[in-house]
C-alpha cells in the first residue's frame, strides 16, 4: 500500500446496515472493505440516509417496491430468493449511499460507495443479486445531469440498459465477460471480452473513455467489479489482479486528471472465498488507487 503522504482519503458512503447475511459475499464483504479502506487512510466513511419508497418508485413499479419493503407478495422477484429485514434495510441504505456518493462526487470530484450498483435490477423486477437499480436511481433523481455508467463488472448491466430506454439522461457502457442479455443500441453499449484477452479489454476501456470525453457527462458512475478476476468462480473474462489495478488507475486518472469529470465508484461484483484473503484485498486496492488519484488531483 502507498504511504499516507501519497494518498488522500476519498469520502465514501457506508452504513453498518449495508451488511446482511447472504449465501454469497455480495453484502457480507462490505463492512470488511469499508473498515480496511478507512483504517489504511484511503476512505473517510460517511453515513447515508436510506432511499425512500418515493425515491424507488421513480424507477420501479409500485407492486415490486412494495413486495421488497414488506416481505409480502411475489418474492420470486426478490433477486436473492429470500427476504429478511436486514436484507431490506441493507438494500435501502445502499441505494441511499449511491445518492450520497453522487452528491459527494459533484462536490469533491471523486467519491465512492462501499456497495453495489445493483445493475441487473430492471423497472419491473430484480435479478442477479440485484434488487433496486441504484445507477438508474441516481439518473432519475438528477435529471439535470447526464449520467454515464461505465460498468466493468464481469456481467453486463442488463437492468441499467433497460433504464436507458426511459431515462433520457442515462448512458450505459458495459465491458463484460458475460452479457447477461444486456441491451445493445441507443444509449447502451455492450463490449464482451474474450477469456484472458487483456489487450482487447484495454481497447474497450479506451473506447469508453473516448466516448466520455466526447459526451462530457455531468457525472460518471464507475462499477469497479472484481468478478472479472481470473480466480473468481463467476469469471469468464479471466483478468489478472494487475490488469484490474491498471484498469482502475486508467479510469480514475483519466476522469479526474485529464477530463475533470466528477465520478464515484462502487464495488460491484466479486465472489471469491475465503473473501477475507482473496476478495477483500482486491476491493481495498481500488480504494488505494482512488486515494492516490485524489492526492494527485489536489496537489
Residue 128: the pLDDT is 82
Side-chain-side CA neighbours of 280 within 13 Å: the count stands at 16
Q: What is the mean pLDDT of residues 216-221?
A: 98
First to last CA, the chain: 20
3 pLDDT higher than 50: no
For residue 73, what pLDDT is reported? Answer: 74
pLDDT over 90 percentage in the chain: 80
Mean pLDDT of the chain: 93
For position 160, what pLDDT does the model report?
Answer: 96
In sequence order, what are the residues at sequence separation of 6 or more whose Cβ sits closer than 8 angstroms to the Cβ of residue 32? 275, 276, 280
pLDDT over 50 (residue 2):
no
Q: How confident is the model at residue 186 (pLDDT cuts 50, 70, 90)?
A: confident
- pLDDT bucket at 78, cuts 50 / 70 / 90: low
Residue predicted with more confidence, 288 or 183: 288
Say what the pLDDT of residue 16 is.
95
Lowest-confidence pick of 126-130, 205-209, 263-267: 126-130
What 3 state SS string does 210-271 have? HHHHHHCCCEEEEECCCCCECCCCCCCCCECHHHHHHHHHHHHHHHHHHHCCCEEEECCCCC
pLDDT of residue 75: 60
100 secondary structure, DSSP code: H
Instruction: Select, from the ranges 65-79, 99-113, 179-193, the one with the highest average predicted confidence (pLDDT).
Output: 99-113
For 251-264, the pLDDT digits (tens) are: 999 999 999 999 99
Total Cβ atoms within 10 A of residue 207: 14
What are the structural domains, with CATH classification, of the chain? 4-297 (3.40.800.20)
Pair 17, 93: CB distance under 8 Å: yes
188: β partners: 172, 185
Indicate if the pLDDT at residue 103 is higher than 50: yes
In angstroms, rounded to a whole number, what is the distance separating the alpha carbons of residues 88 and 101?
20
Q: Which residue has the higher pLDDT, 180 or 227?
A: 227
Amino acid at each position: 500500500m502507498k504511504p499516507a503522504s501519497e494518498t488522500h482519503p476519498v469520502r465514501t458512503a457506508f452504513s453498518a446496515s449495508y451488511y446482511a447475511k447472504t449465501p454469497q459475499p455480495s453484502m457480507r464483504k462490505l463492512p470488511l472493505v469499508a473498515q480496511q479502506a478507512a483504517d489504511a487512510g484511503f476512505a473517510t466513511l460517511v453515513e447515508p440516509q436510506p432511499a425512500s419508497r418515493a425515491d424507488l418508485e421513480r424507477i420501479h413499479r409500485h407492486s415490486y417496491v412494495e413486495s421488497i419493503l414488506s416481505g409480502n407478495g411475489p418474492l420470486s422477484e426478490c433477486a436473492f430468493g429470500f427476504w429478511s429485514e436486514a436484507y431490506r434495510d441493507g438494500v435501502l441504505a445502499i441505494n441511499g449511499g449511491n445518492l450520497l456518493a453522487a452528491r459527494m462526487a459533484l462536490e469533491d470530484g471523486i467519491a465512492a460507495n462501499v456497495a453495489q450498483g445493483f445493475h441487473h435490477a430492471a423497472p419491473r423486477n430484480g435479478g442477479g443479486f440485484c434488487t433496486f437499480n441504484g445507477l438508474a436511481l441516481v439518473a432519475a433523481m438528477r435529471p439535470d445531469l447526464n449520467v454515464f455508467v461505465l460498468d466493468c463488472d464481469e456481467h453486463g448491466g442488463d437492468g441499467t440498459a433497460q433504464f436507458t430506454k426511459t431515462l433520457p439522461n442515462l448512458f450505459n457502457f458495459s465491458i463484460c465477460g458475460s452479457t447477461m442479455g444486456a441491451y445493445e443500441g441507443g444509449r447502451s453499449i455492450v463490449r464482451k471480452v474474450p477469456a484472458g484477452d487483456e489487450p482487447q479489454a484495454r481497447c474497450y476501456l479506451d473506447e469508453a473513455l473516448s466516448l466520455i470525453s466526447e459526451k462530457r457527462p455531468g457525472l460518471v458512475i464507475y462499477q469497479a467489479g472484481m468478478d472479472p478476476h481470473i480466480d473468481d468462480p463467476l469469471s469468464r473474462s479471466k483478468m489478472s489482479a494487475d490488469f484490474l489495478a491498471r484498469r482502475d488507475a486508467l479510469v480514475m486518472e483519466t476522469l479526474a486528471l485529464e477530463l475533470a469529470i466528477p465520478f464515484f465508484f462502487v464495488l460491484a461484483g466479486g465472489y471469491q472465498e475465503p473473501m477475507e484473503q482473496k476478495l477483500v484485498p482486491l476491493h481495498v486496492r481500488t480504494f488505494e488507487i482512488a486515494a492516490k488519484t485524489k492526492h494527485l488531483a489536489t496537489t
